[in-house]
Structure 1
Amino acid sequence: MSSIQMLSHQPQFSLIPYRACYAQSVSQIFHDAIRYIDDVYSIEQKQAWSPKPRSPYHWNKRLTRSKAWLVVDEAMIEGGHPKCCGFINVETHFNNRGYIDSLYVHPAYQHCGVGHKLYEALEEWALEQDYPDLTVDASLLSKWLFLSHGFKVQHKSYQEKLGQIFMGFLMSKALKETIRS
């Protein structure tokens, strides 16, 4: 596994809607974000969660079937586009409406506010769309970000991936107060 380089420049972050030209970057961010987690998941768990980057086709299909945003670093150009630093998406279909499916940040850009910027854009959009609430199955790492934005833990959750068990937290946040008559 190669090491992730620390930032050697001052990032210039912009928030943009997901575009298909970023599918390969999204795939690599997902994989790298999982593989470079320290002291939370075992090597076996990380291998089960992301044995290799998924295809750009997979990510493009997944993100175009939902509402998705990217944070890009305008100071870094890769493949003719600003470098993708992280992504988030929320389900928009009736049964899963308001479910945050993914939030991943490139390891070199973690602890720079990228996750917060992505979440804040999603919440603003969800409020504009009149979503009553948001839900997420937060990992051990992302739990703290969601708590900082007012989410409440509903209960622990467990997922199985390739024989490995992952504990997480089903969390929710009401976006609108219910009107009581």
Structure 2
Amino acid sequence: MMILRFHENDTEEVVSLFYETVHSVNARDYSREQVEAWAALEDKSERINRWKRSLNENLTFVVKVNDRIVGFADLTFNGYLDRLFVHKEYQRQGVASLLVDKLESEAKRLKLQAIETESSITAKAFFTHRGYVTVRQQTVERKGVYLTNLKMRKELSATSFTRTIHE
């Protein structure tokens, strides 16, 4: 397993991994209707274009095995862990931990006090095990369909300082 910085050329593979993960792994905790709304296949080309930009703007890392992306995650410079997805065949093999370790290390380097995320029901146990606490359960709407997720937060070190706009 190798963790690498995201490159623009990775976008299509990352988006495909997202779709496959939502439609297989997250389907355990969400209905078919919810999964379809969350990751509608007809939105794929538009998502590729949007994510190409946002993944380049954020701190984004991929994990590769034999030159194949098996996981990815990204963090904004304000401490928002936006996306974390692991291929269905690589669940529970340390891929998500490797990615989140890297993002947390980067957040500390940036002197961020905390990381926040909106976790799926599926990922809640993973984040809880890593010290994230549930701030609140929330309902989000995608294409007229409602999904439950969790706003979660992890305080980093007590000696961290908030990153200011002036840095």
Question: What is the TM-score of this pair, normalised by structure 2?
Answer: 0.88
Task: Give the number of equivalent residue pairs.
Answer: 156
Please report how far the alpha carbon of residue 49 of structure 1 lies from its aligned counterpart in structure 2 after TM superposition.
Answer: 0.5
Q: Secondary structure at the match of 1:54?
A: helix
Structure 2 equivalent of residue 9 of structure 1 = none
Q: Using a 3 Å threshold, how does the CA distance of structure 1 residues 178 and 130 change in structure 2: closer, same or farther?
A: closer
Please report how far the alpha carbon of residue 54 of structure 1 lies from its aligned counterpart in structure 2 after TM superposition.
Answer: 2.3
What are the superposed Cα offsets for residues 48-105 of structure 1, whole Å, 9 maximum, x if unpaired? Answer: 01111623322211201111000011x3xxxxxx10011100111xxxx101100011
Determine which of 66, 69, 91 is the counterpart of 1:84.
69
CA distance in 2, matches of 1:39, 1:91: 28
* Higher helix content, 1 or 2: 2
Which segments of 5 or more consecutive residues in structure 2 lack a partner in the other structure? Answer: 161-167
Q: Secondary structure at the match of 1:34?
A: helix
Is the 1:69–1:88 Cα contact (8 Å) retained in structure 2?
A: yes
Please report how far the alpha carbon of residue 128 of structure 1 lies from its aligned counterpart in structure 2 after TM superposition.
Answer: 1.1
Please report how far the alpha carbon of residue 134 of structure 1 lies from its aligned counterpart in structure 2 after TM superposition.
Answer: 0.5
Cα RMSD between the aligned structures? Answer: 1.4
Runs of 4+ in 1 over 4 A off after TM superposition: none
CA distance in 2, matches of 1:178, 1:126: 13
Structure 1 equivalent of residue 163 of structure 2 = none
Q: Secondary structure at the match of 2:70?
A: strand
Q: Which amino acid is 2:68 matched to? A: K
Structure 2 equivalent of residue 98 of structure 1 = 79
Structure 2 equivalent of residue 3 of structure 1 = none
Determine which of 10, 14, 28 is the counterpart of 1:22.
10
Which segments of 5 or more consecutive residues in structure 1 lack a partner in the other structure? Answer: 1-12, 76-81
Which residues in structure 2 correspond to 1:2-13 (within 5 Å)?
A: 13=1
CA distance in 2, matches of 1:103, 1:148: 15
Q: Which amino acid is 2:75 matched to? A: V
Is the 1:138–1:169 Cα contact (8 Å) retained in structure 2?
A: yes
Query: Kindly, what percent of the aligned residue pairs are identical?
Result: 24
Is the 1:26–1:59 Cα contact (8 Å) retained in structure 2?
A: no
Q: Which amino acid is 2:16 matched to? A: Q
1:141 and 2:131 equivalent?
Answer: no
Please report how far the alpha carbon of residue 162 of structure 1 lies from its aligned counterpart in structure 2 after TM superposition.
Answer: 1.0
Q: Which amino acid is 1:91 matched to? A: T
Which structure would you say has the larger Rg? 1
Question: What is the TM-score of this pair, normalised by structure 1?
Answer: 0.82
Please report how far the alpha carbon of residue 178 of structure 1 lies from its aligned counterpart in structure 2 after TM superposition.
Answer: 6.3
